[in-house]
Structure 1
Amino acid sequence: MTMLKRTLIAIPVLLGFGSATLPLADFPQADLSNGVIQTTLYLPDASQGYYQGTRFDWAGSFKNLDYKGHSFVEPWFENYDPKLHDAISGPAEEFVPLGYAEAQPAGTFVKIGVGVLRKPDEKPYAFSKYYEIANPGEWAIKKSRDQVDFSHKLNDATSGYGYVYQKTVKLTKDKPELVLEHRLKNTGKLPIETSTYNHNFFIIDKQPTGPTVNVQFPFEVKGEGKGFGTTIVAQGNKLAYSRDLDKKEQVYSAGLQGFGATSADYDIRIENQKTGAGVRIRGDKPLEKLVYWACSTTSCPEPYIRLSAAPGQEISWTITYEFYTKTP
């Protein structure tokens, strides 16, 4: 580990909530603008990348995103380490691992968008754990003014899994819109059966989690879990907070209920009612499940979709983010 890396790990991140400053480091990144939205992405790099954890997809880690003077993305966490599982902001995507249960200790399994990982023991998979990267795969990146194209090629002869994963992060011309386009081709010997979701780590205008944050769905929502019914309450098609969350406090539901079997219900809004800024999140696949998590800095609906690809098959899916303002 270099002296630079040791220095970075010791420095907490600036959240805009009164903590210390960001690490002063030149991480590989790309600035995008369509004249309406401005955003910066951190780029995949196994040794110098901002995000080197083994939980989330390395393609498209967001540094910031601004629209009409409103901010939507910034670090939501206090302490930073490049290998922390959740040291990532904005629309962060994760895939359920492939082949973990079948792998023996010291054997390998696969995380799409990360690489071939080493299974250390017989313990169940834990998303918060850092796993040794046995093979990071091959990344190719193409940048332009308003989009970045990522390609990740991976083959694991031990497990039998292989893929070509292509992801485009683009800003729609002349619109307040961000689009994530995905294509996944199964190049391995085994079928790919997995799920993926976006964690949606948004912070709108630095607003802490509380009554001014509104989360809305196109269906009557119901939820059970930590804080539900007290700190956070379902009101028709909305989730509303009864008070501000304390530092280190969390609410969580393993599965909100009420959505149907079509992609029409993959249509979620997060709004800052104090400033009038919001984001609308839409997907083109039906929801498999809908997890919800929040802490004192961010409120995160986590929409899951199911993915299946036979050997040789290519599948695709898209998530669209529309940013807007309205009178508070």
Structure 2
Amino acid sequence: MSNNMQSLKITGKRLEVEIAYPGTFYSGSRFDWTGFITKVTLDGKHSFCAPESPIPGEGSGGFGFCNEFGIHTPIGYDEAIPGEKFHKLGTGLLTRPDESNYFFFDKYEVAPFPVTIESASDHVIFELESLECKGYAVRMIKEVSVDQNKMIIKYNLKNVGSKPIQTEEYCHNFISIDNNPTGPDYVLRFPYSAEAEETPDVLDVSGNEIRWNKQPNNDFYIVPGGLKPVENHFWELLHEPSGVGVREISTFPIQKVAVWGKGHVISPEVFININIEPGKTQSWERVYEFFTK
């Protein structure tokens, strides 16, 4: 494990993963500062991480594998008056600027959560001491580890406040396999029908597969309509000419699945509901398998 105060590096037999040191590469108000994964390399040659936007300063600063809490349900926002703070799990206490509704893309003033880091050659553990605000407080332990061709992200949240915690979490997977542009060379698969109520023109959906008929000029977004409970939910993105791919396996109950992207990036997103009574704990994990066929 290397730590130059900019990045943390963990390695396994087939994977090398770089994780940004909290508040360095990313210090915005949207994404979780811990476990912000900026580089994944398989077998020393295949890469997977892409920026949210190739244009510097555009977008909200997303990169690689980074998660977000409360994109729709920010904790305590409605209780805060302008000038007061509210919770953004994994990030810190944000300041509500005015009477407008919360919008994840807006930039808010951040008072970051204190974080301690424990690291070894194959894993990093982040522990966030939550700052109490209006009765809300969460202690989060997050571990990123590697094993063979797998990257595992484990979450453990304990409600140490006096009010219930109700929000959602997902990982915004900004993926480009070996920097290949989005287009007909890719296929994205689910364990159920991917057909949706609304399908962007750039997509061809058939059964459980999503394909691209050309490189998109604009953002695309689709919510696969066939989501149903499966014991080990997964999505799999494959670059067919090279046979290089990645799949995310989820063993927790899925709230929603969506796919966002642009001409350079594909982002399958799996959402989980978070509902924790005071004194209780909620835990889950995301397993990513990187492979060659």
TM-score w.r.t. the length of structure 1 is 0.83
Whether 1:250 aligns to 2:219 is: yes
Whether 1:104 aligns to 2:81 is: yes
Flag the 1:233–1:224 CA change in 2: closer, same or farther, 3 A.
farther
Q: Which residue of 2 aligns with 1:169?
A: 144
Aligned counterpart in structure 1 of residue 151 of structure 2, from 178, 200, 224: 178
Gaps of 5+ in 1: 1-25
Q: Which residue of 1 aligns with 2:180?
A: 207
1:267-324 Cα offsets, whole Å, 9 max, x none, are 0001111211000101111211112211011111111111111011111000000111
Instruction: Provide the C-alpha distance between the structure 1 equivalents of 2:197 and 2:17, rounded to a whole number of angstroms.
Output: 35
Offset at residue 229 of structure 1 (A): 5.0
Offset at residue 263 of structure 1 (A): 4.3
Instruction: Provide the C-alpha distance between the structure 2 equivalents of 1:243 and 1:184, rounded to a whole number of angstroms.
Output: 42
Whether 1:92 aligns to 2:66 is: yes
Amino acid at match of 2:76: G
SS in 2 for 1:189: coil
**Is residue 13–residue 149 contact of structure 2 (8 Å, CA) maintained in 1?**
no
Amino acid at match of 1:305: I
Whether 1:50 aligns to 2:17 is: no
SS in 1 for 2:268: strand
1:149-207 Cα offsets, whole Å, 9 max, x none, are 001111224x21101111000001xx200000110000111100111111111110111
Aligned counterpart in structure 2 of residue 230 of structure 1, from 183, 192, 201: 201
**Count of equivalent residues:** 286
Amino acid at match of 1:209: T
Aligned residues: CA RMSD: 1.6
Moved over 4 A (4+): none
1:97-118 Cα offsets, whole Å, 9 max, x none, are 2111222111221010001111
1:217-271 Cα offsets, whole Å, 9 max, x none, are 000112244xx2521121110111111112xx11113x3211113443x200011
Aligned counterpart in structure 2 of residue 196 of structure 1, from 157, 164, 169: 169
Q: Which residue of 2 aligns with 1:317?
A: 284
Flag the 1:85–1:51 CA change in 2: closer, same or farther, 3 A.
farther
Amino acid at match of 1:87: G
1:3-49 Cα offsets, whole Å, 9 max, x none, are xxxxxxxxxxxxxxxxxxxxxxx76211111121012110103xxx1
**Is residue 65–residue 171 contact of structure 2 (8 Å, CA) maintained in 1?**
yes
Higher strand proportion: 2
Instruction: Provide the C-alpha distance between the structure 1 equivalents of 2:68 and 2:191, rounded to a whole number of angstroms.
Output: 24
Instruction: Provide the C-alpha distance between the structure 1 equivalents of 2:241 and 2:78, rounded to a whole number of angstroms.
Output: 46
Whether 1:304 aligns to 2:271 is: yes
1:47-87 Cα offsets, whole Å, 9 max, x none, are xx110011111111122111122111143522335xx7632
Instruction: Provide the C-alpha distance between the structure 2 equivalents of 1:199 and 1:302, rounded to a whole number of angstroms.
Output: 6
Flag the 1:269–1:215 CA change in 2: closer, same or farther, 3 A.
same
Match runs of 1:136-175 below 5 Å: 136-157=112-133, 159-172=134-147, 175=148
Whether 1:71 aligns to 2:47 is: yes
- Report 1 or 2 for greater relative contact order, CA contacts < 8 Å, sequence distance ≥ 6: 2
Instruction: Provide the C-alpha distance between the structure 1 equivalents of 2:241 and 2:21, rounded to a whole number of angstroms.
Output: 33
Amino acid at match of 2:219: Q
Flag the 1:163–1:85 CA change in 2: closer, same or farther, 3 A.
farther
Gaps of 5+ in 2: none
Amino acid at match of 1:64: K
Amino acid at match of 2:86: F
